[in-house]
Amino acid sequence: MSRPAKSAALLLVLGGSVFVAWGLLGEREESPGSVQASSAQCRSCHPALYEEWSASWHAKAYVDPEVRGLSNDFRNEECIDCHAPRPVFETGIGKPPLPRAARRAEGVDCISCHARDGGVAGPSKEAAGACAPRFEPLLATPEFCGGCHDQHHTVKEWRATPFAAKGITCVGCHMKPVDREGRRGSDHRSPASHEAEEIRKALTFAVKREGALVRVSVANTGAGHHFPTDERSRAGDLIVRVLEADGSVRSVRRLDRYRNPYRDEVGAAAALPYREESPLLETRPESTILPNGVERTYEFPIPEGTGTIEVHLTYKTIPYPLDPSEILADEKSFAEKKAFRIFKEVVPF
Ligand code: HEC
Ligand code: HEC
Ligand code: HEC
Ligand code: HEC
Ligand code: HEC
């Protein structure tokens, strides 16, 4: 058969019925008898949910330029496992995910999380539809998320927080209830550390003038795990900038950096000491990560003369250092969501 004839035949079959098309395109190796072939098919009946998921980092997991860069465009094949995985229920909860051979650009898609035994795993007992939903209590558990999210012990960290005791799970914070198409659902955008607004929920930040001192405190009160967790490139930076009365910069220093380092930084950020000397340092472990329930305080004297002290808490998602002046810039200037200013307090002197 010539090439054009072949594709005409395929089109004819595809036009036949949704079911035939699903069967034809199905990844048989993954799900024998499954009717699901692509997340695009879920869109026809779950359009609003599909849009929500499309805006998530799960949807971008394979096309995310940061991941592509670090994985050498996925020539490092071990990176495919969680960024374009086969269905988690077929691999098994608690087992490391396996890489998918096809439609990798869909990343962590509907099928990765829901496909099960030719149907879909769902959170409710009553649901019935063409996709054959079946109630699956394991779906909304931290163990389910943990297949991909426990590489650096996020689930273990969560267990040690008061949220675990109260039954507030990963889904409780990262898939909050939403009203869509007149029904209650669970937010599939799963916002977290690419949004300043979400990061703000993790921390209690206070700056006070006390006599001749400025007192700063930072506590992890709202993350159901360490701050940051999982991705080792991430860091929160506590930076103090002193401005003269005319607005010129007198000094910039970093009071602390919240991070579990896995490699040294080079370049512009190395110009700032990793951590400022403080009594806390002596009791602090290698990692400067901020566990849930922990508060750290810092004190420094009010400088001589007149001007303003700015205390910034910033966050960066990428492994590479950023210029300190960039880190202090407004949220707006970080359209690519690589760094944010989370808090800023100003103390005149
Ligand atoms: C032909 C329409 C159709 C297609 C295509 C479809 N679904 Fe459904 N789906 C439904 C209907 C209808 C329900 C039932 C809604 C209800 O009763 O709450 C449902 C329910 C579900 C549920 C269970 C919801 C719950 O509350 O437990 C999940 C999960 C689900 N679909 C996922 C998917 C996924 C993933 C795909 C793509 C592989 C998909 N669906 C494709 C129509 C469809
Ligand atoms: C065990 C599952 C797993 C494997 C294997 C894996 N990742 Fe990831 N990756 C994740 C999860 C989960 C996240 C989200 C973590 C977070 O947001 O803190 C992530 C996030 C990332 C991010 C951050 C993306 C961003 O835009 O902020 C990069 C970069 C990344 N991974 C690169 C890689 C590379 C390179 C490899 C291979 C060496 C790899 N990953 C292998 C699970 C995995
Ligand atoms: C099959 C693997 C897999 C499973 C299962 C999974 N995730 Fe993810 N998740 C990822 C990967 C990979 C990323 C990073 C994508 C990227 O940024 O490139 C991610 C990113 C995220 C992010 C965004 C983090 C950020 O930095 O903004 C959140 C939040 C998240 N996942 C929550 C969950 C929750 C909650 C569950 C369980 C209901 C879950 N995930 C299940 C693989 C998975
Ligand atoms: C009490 C609410 C809460 C719970 C419970 C919770 N998180 Fe988070 N999570 C947050 C907040 C707030 C952030 C943003 C701040 C940060 O980075 O820690 C976040 C950030 C994240 C990130 C991106 C952070 C990073 O540093 O790379 C991932 C991935 C994530 N959560 C996964 C999970 C998983 C998996 C669970 C369950 C084991 C979970 N979360 C439980 C509130 C929660
Ligand atoms: C990272 C894993 C993950 C991905 C990707 C994912 N889901 Fe879900 N989905 C879940 C979890 C977990 C729940 C249960 C949440 C709960 O109990 O609150 C859920 C709930 C649902 C529900 C019932 C609640 C609601 O919001 O209506 C439907 C329907 C559904 N998913 C369909 C889809 C479709 C369609 C896609 C792709 C566009 C998709 N899911 C992608 C994990 C995922």
pLDDT for the residue 215: 97
Q: Which of 291, 286, 263 is nearest to 275 (CA)?
A: 286
CA R_g for the chain: 24
Predicted local distance difference test score (pLDDT) of residue 311: 96
Whether 226 contacts 292, CB under 8 Å: yes
Residues whose beta carbon lies within 6 Å of some atom of ligand 2: 64, 66-67, 70-71, 76, 78-79, 81-83, 148-149, 151, 193, 230-231, 317
Least confident interval from 87-96, 231-240, 283-292: 283-292
Q: How far apart are CA 175 and CA 188, in angstroms?
A: 6
Specify the residue for token string 């700032």. 272
Euclidean distance between CA atoms 240 and 237, whole angstroms:
10
Point out the ligand nearest to the CA of residue 258.
4
Q: How far is the CA of 131 from the centre of ligand 1 (A)?
A: 5
Closest atom of ligand 5 relative to the 59 alpha carbon: 5
CA 256/CA 259 separation, integer angstroms: 9
How far is residue 142's CA from residue 291's CA, in Å, rounded to a whole number? Answer: 18
Instruction: Give the model's pLDDT for residue 254.
Output: 84
Distance of CA 203 to the CA centre of its chain: 16
Among the residue ranges 18-32, 39-53, 65-79, 296-310, the one predicted with the least confidence is: 18-32
Mean predicted confidence (pLDDT) in 288-307: 94
What number does the ligand 1 atom closest to the CA of 125 have?
27
Give the C-alpha separation, 225 to 223, whole Å.
5
- Please determine, for residue 14, whether its predicted confidence score (pLDDT) is greater than 70: no
Q: Is there a contact between 224 and 198 (Cβ–Cβ < 8 Å)?
A: no
Q: What angle do CA 219, 269, 246 make, to 5 degrees?
A: 85
Pairwise pLDDT comparison (36 vs 105), residue with the higher score: 105
Ligand nearest to the CA of 199: 4
More confident residue, 275 or 59: 59
- pLDDT at residue 28, as a whole number: 38
Per-residue pLDDT tens for 179-224?
998 999 999 999 999 888 999 999 999 999 999 999 999 999 999 9
pLDDT tops 50 at residue 90:
yes
State the first-to-last Cα distance of the chain, in angstroms, to the nearest integer. Answer: 83
Tokens (6 digits) for 208: 């006070």
The atom number, within ligand 2, closest to the CA of 70 reads 35
229-278 residue pLDDT tens: 987 778 898 999 999 999 999 988 888 888 876 554 444 444 445 555 44
Inform me whether the pLDDT recorded for 297 exceeds 70.
yes
pLDDT of residue 119 exceeding 80: yes
Q: Which ligand is nearest to the CA of 110?
A: 5
